[in-house]
Structure 1
Amino acid sequence: MLSLTLLSACGTVDGRLKAAAEQVGRLDAEKTLPNYPADCRKEERSGARIGEPLDVALLRSDRALGRANARVLRCAGWYDEINTGFAKEES
């Protein structure tokens, strides 16, 4: 009778270990990163053309640089938000 009790206790421990492993697996599966925004992969061009006045080329280049910098800040903000979410899950 004692051996049946011991064996049933092992079965309970195995069941709890299996349930814990399944829960850890589900939590890890939820940690997959979302797709990186397509806009964050976009490259910027100045749009300056051969033969156009330098002041116009400078304005075009400056606007392109402004768009690129804004994109970097947007994408960094997106990453920081995702990273903060993952840090909270691990706590």
Structure 2
Amino acid sequence: MRTAAALSAQVEVTKELPGYPEDCRRKEASGVQIGEPLDVALIRTDQALGRANARVMRCGRWYDEIKQGFAGGVQ
């Protein structure tokens, strides 16, 4: 029993997290230029926000999958 526990602990110690996806580190900018009409600025800003929110969701799913793998499939 102790040997099994020791082997299990050794496996846990050797697990390494994969590198964090570069996409998850990116920042968004609206690209709004001074003097642009406000409706265009609003559209650009909304599109940038949509891209940022999509990235947050992708990175959250990535983390959840990693977490589940480290938990041995148990949440």
TM-score (norm. length: structure 1): 0.69
RMSD: 2.0
User: Separation in 2 of the partners of 1:62 and 1:68?
Assistant: 10
Identity of aligned residues (%): 61
Q: Which residue number in structure 2 is paired with residue 6 of structure 1?
A: none
1:63-78 counterparts in 2 under 5 A?
63-78=47-62
Structure 1 runs (4+) deviating above 3 angstroms are: 23-27
Higher RCO, 1 or 2 (CA under 8 Å, sep at least 6)?
Answer: 2
Greater Cα radius of gyration, structure 1 or 2 = 1
Structure 2 gap segments, 5+ residues each: none
**Structure 1 pair 46–88 and aligned structure 2 pair: CA distance change class (3 A):** same
Aligned length: 71
Q: Which residue number in structure 2 is paired with residue 54 of structure 1?
A: 38
Structure 1 gap segments, 5+ residues each: 1-16
